[in-house]
Amino acid sequence: MLHVLPPLPYDYNSLEPFIDEETMRIHHTKHHQTYVDKLNAALGGHKEFEALDADELLKNLDRIPEDIRTAVRNHGGGHSNHSFFWPLLKKNVPFGGAVSERILKQFGSLEKFREDFSNRAALLFGSGWTWLTLDQGKLEIMTTANQDSPLSVGKTPVLGLDVWEHAYYLKYQNRRPDYIKAFFEVINWEKVNEHFYKAG
């Protein structure tokens, strides 16, 4: 299939002041678009993978020919991760639903979860992602380097945070912890619940 950039499910300025319009515009139209373009370029001529979307490609990296595997891992990961990320962001969605109960049960409080997740995100060296995954009924915080996807190691994400500098540098410069704090103001808990139900 020809992979395409999914439209943002909101306006570029919708997450202001937590995530600024210019960052959202560049991140979506330049960074994400480039992952899509490079994934298509890598897969060009490989008709055997035409039926697979990016998530399926990442779940089956061992089936991808070696000469394009790294490109699929990086750019397919970039496409999949960002497609997952955009709908997770929305202002003014209260913490609630089944996932909130599970978070309270496992982490003790939202505050404790926020602290654990934020520490993992802040301490992640270099570029990568911080995730909350659900596997066999258990929530887990994990990180991946670069654009690696939890799907490639058999994990199912319900929440993810892009901690590449391109996600925050224009507004927050080197202050990654401030960006992480802002992220918690724009988590779309309804979407996290959707992922939680599907994964459970």
Q: Contact positions toward Mn ion, by CB under 5 A? A: 162, 164, 167
Q: What is the rounded CA–CA span in Å between residue 1 and residue 54? A: 10
User: Among residues 60 and 146, whose Cβ is nearest to Mn ion?
Assistant: 146
- CA dist 180 and 123 (Å) reads 11
Q: Is the separation of the CB atoms in 185 and 18 below 8 Å? A: yes
- Comparison of 148 and 162: residue with beta carbon closer to Mn ion: 162
In terms of C-beta density within 10 A (0-12 exposed, 13-18 middle, 19 or more buried), how is residue 92 classed?
Answer: exposed
CB nearer Mn ion, residue 164 or residue 169: 164
Q: In this complex, which beta carbon is closest to Mn ion, that of residue 95 or of residue 164?
A: 164
Task: Give least dist CB 127 to Mn ion, A.
Answer: 9
* Residue 183 contacts residue 175 (beta carbons within 8 Å): no
CB of 50 to Mn ion, least distance (A): 26
- Dihedral angle over CA of 161, 162, 163, 169, nearest 10: -120
| Measured distance CA(135)–CA(146) in Å, rounded | 22
Taking the complex as a whole, the smallest distance from the CB of residue 149 to Mn ion amounts, in Å, to 13
Q: Which is nearer to Mn ion, 83 or 133 (CB)?
A: 83
CA distances from residue 164 to 5, 39, 96, 187 in whole angstroms, order as listed:
19, 19, 28, 18
132: left (phi over 0), alpha (psi -120 to 50) or beta: beta
Rounded to the nearest whole angstrom, what is the least distance from the CB of residue 13 to Mn ion in the complex? 18
Q: Which is nearer to Mn ion, 43 or 167 (CB)?
A: 167
Compute the Cα dihedral for 153, 138, 99, 172 and give only its sign: negative
Smallest separation (angstroms) from Mn ion to the CB of 160: 10
Residue closest to Mn ion, measured at CB: 162
Shortest separation between residue 167's beta carbon and Mn ion, angstroms: 5
